[in-house]
Amino acid sequence: MRLALAAALLALPATTLAQEAAEPVTPASVVAAAPASAWKPIDPADLLVMDLAPDAAGEPRRVVIQLMPPPFSQGWVENIRKLAKAHWWDGTSVYRVVDNWVAQWGDVDETKALPEGVSERPESEYSVPLFPDLMAHLQKLGSEFAPPSGEADLDSLPNAYFQLRSDSYAPMALHHKGWPVAIGSRDNHTWPTHCYGAIGVARSVGSGGTGSELYAVIGHAPRQLDRNIGIAGRVIEGIEHLSVLQRGTGDAGVYMEAEERTPILSARLGTDMPDPPRFEYLDTESASFGEYVRLRANRHDSFYLHPAGGIDVCNVQIPIRRVPAE
Amino acid sequence: MRLALAAALLALPATTLAQEAAEPVTPASVVAAAPASAWKPIDPADLLVMDLAPDAAGEPRRVVIQLMPPPFSQGWVENIRKLAKAHWWDGTSVYRVVDNWVAQWGDVDETKALPEGVSERPESEYSVPLFPDLMAHLQKLGSEFAPPSGEADLDSLPNAYFQLRSDSYAPMALHHKGWPVAIGSRDNHTWPTHCYGAIGVARSVGSGGTGSELYAVIGHAPRQLDRNIGIAGRVIEGIEHLSVLQRGTGDAGVYMEAEERTPILSARLGTDMPDPPRFEYLDTESASFGEYVRLRANRHDSFYLHPAGGIDVCNVQIPIRRVPAE
């Protein structure tokens, strides 16, 4: 690869070579340069750490989930905390995997009793009224927003232009407190969006679900599920342990044979672990995040010939990193 | 699952039960009811059939790719036909897999000589001027299009409202002759879009690529690659043989060890096979497809409480099916 790259560079005129030498800022370089104040810790109480049985080579498989913060989905999140405290998922399995769709786990037979206090949550919890913190964030972005005029240079547009946008599923979508959210028009309701890695609450028709059966999105964002299924969190590390699982061949992608399932050894809240992993995310209200989104929408690294000029809310991966142990 | 469903139904009032009994049309039911005339054959000359080495259980792994039709990307498509005819990929491998991104194959060492007549194609081929067939399709949809007024009922909108739309990356996106395409504003150029399963032409900086190194998208649509990489086709069967592969841990997701690679046994054009698989796709210019898109954007099956009211171009899976052997 290196040889081909060198050959390609040699074929370029000198001015381009000079540009290559001074690579412009990239989304990655903005994240690397973000000040410590732009990083926010993720509370261990919001972590669900799920250990799958080791893989065929004996390697451990840990999936770390961040639970959804208030005011979204808190009924399911509270259920999930109770289920984890009761060690309810221990001995259950990942029993359904559908390509470009989801990997789902829990009690495939649905015979296991739920812990005390865990019951179905109503579908009305799929969205919440626009709340003050989000309204303030919206107003701030709105005050910085400027629509392009005529043949506007993308580089002259403010970060807010790329951060606040309509999308194909909602009048408005943006990131708030580290999460992608959409805002409706008729009732000013807001809801978390189904992006890659989102954790949804599986349910039957006519039920809001409890949170005992969960799935992770492992394909293109199935946004049609927004407001039709509760989103209880997202995978922040180890999604590849779910996305590589063999797809199921039974109805709706459920495995035909019990041996195909992936056993879940344990699922624990961070606060119930002696030494939980620690993470932080790039504050979506920070200047660094605004610059990051702008650069993802408007790439100038040398690989890109045509900056897109826009980006959909699910194609902005929120920077999340491990906090080194002290 | 059946028990839970039955319990949920029993809890519903009788009027709802009656609605359940008469399930409204769904995207799947529209596809199932589409007349034979709405299905178009895929030419075996446009198929690239790639056989990977059997999996750990000894099961065969076949990936079927449909090559991009004119006027898009034909330089790379012609190269790919020459590479297949020369059996160039036989003995190469899938050597790079990145979660929520791509699985890439070809000659990892880039030392294998290319067949006569296979050379790099210029980046100018990433898009083409708006062409008559697409213009006619646009005009037809435009004539059927009606914007919603006020609190319009989604069901009262014509199919064209859901088929022709702006998206986060282009002023206009739609489906044409079975493929998702975007249309720009400034220069009236049009290009194929990077959706799940799209086959892209890997390249180095400053090169348009040849088509010998290819990748398949195995995650959320990386639309920022549109017009920055040639799209030469899409996987129409067997994507799961690529999407489940272990993710690479080396630079850019390249496998660290040769043993991790998945060998490619052969890659052949359909026309060079004694008994090629046969496929057909739902004509994206048909009334059935229009209804299919509308229903995907505006779900009324009993599972859905809140129809999205829209859909992004990459979330419309084009119905493609096997043609039974005669």
How far apart are the C-alpha atoms of A109 and A111, rounded to whole Å?
Answer: 5
The span from the CA of A77 to the CA of B49, in Å, is 46
Q: Do A223 and B315 touch (CB under 8 A)?
A: yes
Alpha helices in chain B (DSSP H): 2-10, 14-21, 27-33, 74-85, 132-144, 159-163, 240-243, 287-297
Rounded Cα distance between B204 and B229, Å, is: 10
- Can you read off the two tokens belonging to residue B179? 């493929």
Contacts of residues A136-145 at CB distance under 8 Å and 24 or more positions apart, as own/partner, are A137/A174, A137/A176, A137/A285, A138/A164, A138/A172, A138/A174, A138/A183, A140/A285, A141/A174
Q: Does the complex come out with an ipTM higher than 0.95?
A: no
| The pair of three-digit structure tokens given for residue A264, joined into one six-digit string | 């879940």
What is the reported pLDDT for B21? 52
Q: What is the mean pLDDT of chain A?
A: 91
- What's residue A305's pLDDT? 92
Q: Tell me how close the Cα of A194 comes to any Cα of chain B, in angstroms.
A: 11
Which of B19, B99, B300 to mutate to test binding with chain A, by most A CBs within 10 Å of its CB? B99
* CB A271 within 8 Å of CB A116: no
Tens of pLDDT, residue by residue over A188-212, are 899 999 999 999 999 988 889 999 9
**A198 residue type, one letter:** A
Position A2 scores a pLDDT of 32
CB contact under 8 A, B168 and A169: no
Spatial contact of A157 and A146, defined as CB atoms under 8 Å apart: yes
Write the CA distances from B133 to B38, B130, B182, integer angstroms.
Answer: 18, 9, 14
Tell me, yes or no, if A20 comes closer than 8 A to chain B by beta carbon.
yes
B298: closest chain A residue by CA: A224
- Cβ A315–B223 below 8 Å, yes or no? yes
Question: Among A8, A110, A310, whose Cβ lies nearest the Cβ of B206?
Answer: A8
Q: In the prediction, which pLDDT does A149 show?
A: 72
Q: Which residue of A has its CA nearest to B3?
A: A110
For B233-291, what is each residue's pLDDT tens digit?
A: 999 999 999 999 999 999 999 999 999 999 999 999 999 999 999 999 999 999 999 99
Of residues A99, A306, A309, nearest to B240 (C-beta): A99
Please report, for residues A195, A205, B303, the alpha-carbon distance to residue B5 in angstroms, rounded to integers and kept in the order given: 27, 6, 11
Q: CB neighbours (10 Å) of residue B151?
A: 7
Report the gap between the CA of A268 and the closest CA in chain B (Å).
Answer: 25
Compute the nearest-CA separation of B30 from chain A (Å).
18
pLDDT of residue A13: 36
pLDDT digits (tens, 9 = 90+) for A212-267: 999 999 999 999 999 999 999 999 999 999 999 999 999 999 999 999 999 999 99
Read off the pLDDT of residues A48-90 as tens digits, 9 standing for 90 and up.
999 999 999 999 999 999 999 999 999 999 999 999 999 999 9
Is the pLDDT at A292 greater than 70? The verdict is yes
Of B1, B110, B309, the CB nearest to A3: B110
Fill in the amino acid letter for A324: P
The rounded average pLDDT for each run of 10 residues, N- to C-terminus, in chain B (326 residues) is 34 40 83 97 98 97 98 98 98 98 96 96 95 96 81 84 92 96 88 98 91 98 97 98 98 97 98 97 98 94 90 97 85
- Is the Cβ–Cβ distance between A76 and A121 less than 8 Å? yes
| pLDDT tens profile B28-40 | 999 999 999 999 9
Burial (Cβ within 10 Å: 0-12, 13-18, ≥19) of residue B5: middle
Instruction: Kindly determine whether residue B4 and residue A304, on different chains, have CB atoms separated by under 8 Å.
Output: no
Q: Count how many residues are written for chain A.
A: 326
Three-state SS for A269? strand
pLDDT of res. A324: 79
pLDDT, position A38: 98
Helices marked H in chain A: 2-10, 14-21, 27-33, 74-85, 132-144, 159-163, 240-243, 287-297
8 Å CB contact of A11 and B206: yes
Structure tokens at B50: 């790639």
Q: Give the strand order in the sheet containing A39-41.
A: A39-41, A279-282, A320-322
Specify the pLDDT at position B80.
98
- Which chain B residues are closer than 8 Å to A167 by Cβ? 168, 312
* Distance between CA atoms of residues A131 and B240, nearest Å: 41
- Per-residue model confidence (pLDDT) at position A21: 52
Q: Is A139 helix (H, G, I), strand (E, B) or coil?
A: helix
| Residue A151 confidence (pLDDT) | 63
Look at B305 and A1 and tell me if their CB atoms are within 8 Å: no
Name the residue facing A220 among B56, B205, B221 (closest C-beta).
B221
CB A178 within 8 A of CB A281: yes
Angle at A186 between CA A181 and CA A189, to 5 degrees: 35
Residues of A in contact with B110 (CB under 8 A): 1, 3-4
- In the predicted structure, residue A16 carries a pLDDT above the cut 80: no
Q: Is the pLDDT of residue A1 over 50?
A: no
Residues 227-266 of chain B whose Cβ lies under 8 A from any Cβ of chain A: 227-228, 239-240, 243-247
Q: Which residues of A touch B240 (CB under 8 A)?
A: 99, 247
Q: How many residue pairs bridge chain A and chain B with CB atoms within 8 Å of each other?
A: 165
What burial letters (b/e) apply to A24-55, b meaning 16+ CB within 10 Å?
eebbeebbeebeeebbbebebebbbbbbbeee
Q: Chain A: residue nearest B226 by CA?
A: A308
